Amino acid sequence: MVRPTNYRKEYAEQARKLCLLGYTDRQLADFFNVNERTINRWKIDHKEFCQSVKNGKEFADINVVDSLYKRAIGIEYEEVELKTDGKNKSKRVVKKLIPPDTTAQIFWLKNRQPQKWRDKQEIDHTSSDSSMSPKPTRIELVTPKE
C-alpha cells in the first residue's frame, strides 16, 4: 500500500521562489520537511512542480552568469548624489566605474575554454619512437696513454 503524498499545488510556486534564491534539491527537501527522494518523486509525479524548479534554477543561474560577466569585463554605471547645505538641495548624476576583475576573468575562461586556460600542463614524455624508454647512448672508453 502506497502512503498518500503530502504534496500541494502551491508547493510549485514556493519551490520556484526558493530556487530563485539558490536552493538545491536537498535544501528544498529540508524546507518542505521531506527527504530528497520525495522531491525527486514530486518532480516526476507533478509536472508543474518540476517545471517550477527548473524555471527558478535557470533564472537564478542566468542572473549569476550575467553578474559574473559584468564583474569580469567591468561596468560603468550612473549614481545620483544628493547634497544639502541646510537650505538648498542639489542633485547630480555621477558616472562610476567598477574595474574588470581578474579573478572573475580567470574563472570565466577556465570554465568556458578549459583546454586553453586550465592550470594543468600536458607534457609529452614519450621519445621520438613513441616509447617511454630512454635512448641508449654510446659510451667510449678512453684508455690512458703510457
pTM of the model: 0.62
In a domain, 56, yes or no: yes
In a domain, 133, yes or no: no
Mean pLDDT score across all residues of the chain: 88
Lowest-pLDDT range of 68-77, 89-98, 128-137: 128-137
Q: Taking each helix axis from N to C terminus, what angle separates 47-73 and 10-20, rounded to the nearest 10 degrees?
A: 10
Q: Which of 10, 13, 23, 97 is nearest to 51 (CA)?
A: 13
In a domain, 122, yes or no: no
In a domain, 36, yes or no: yes
- The Cα 50–Cα 55 span in angstroms is 9
Residue 86: pLDDT band (50, 70, 90) is: confident
In a domain, 18, yes or no: yes
In a domain, 4, yes or no: no
pLDDT tens for each residue of 25-45: 999 999 999 999 999 999 999
In a domain, 132, yes or no: no
- The C-alpha cell that represents 99 in the structure block: 574595474
Query: How far out from the chain centre does Cα 14 lie?
Result: 24
Task: Measure CA of the first residue to CA of the last residue in the chain; give whole Å.
Answer: 104
Q: Which domain holds residue 61?
A: 10-117
In a domain, 131, yes or no: no
Q: Which of 117, 100, 99 is nearest to 109 (CA)?
A: 117
Cell 635512448 belongs to 135
Number of independent structural domains in the chain: 1
pLDDT tens for each residue of 45-61: 999 999 999 999 999 99
Burial 6-20 (b: 16+ CB within 10 A, else e): ebeeebbebbbebbe
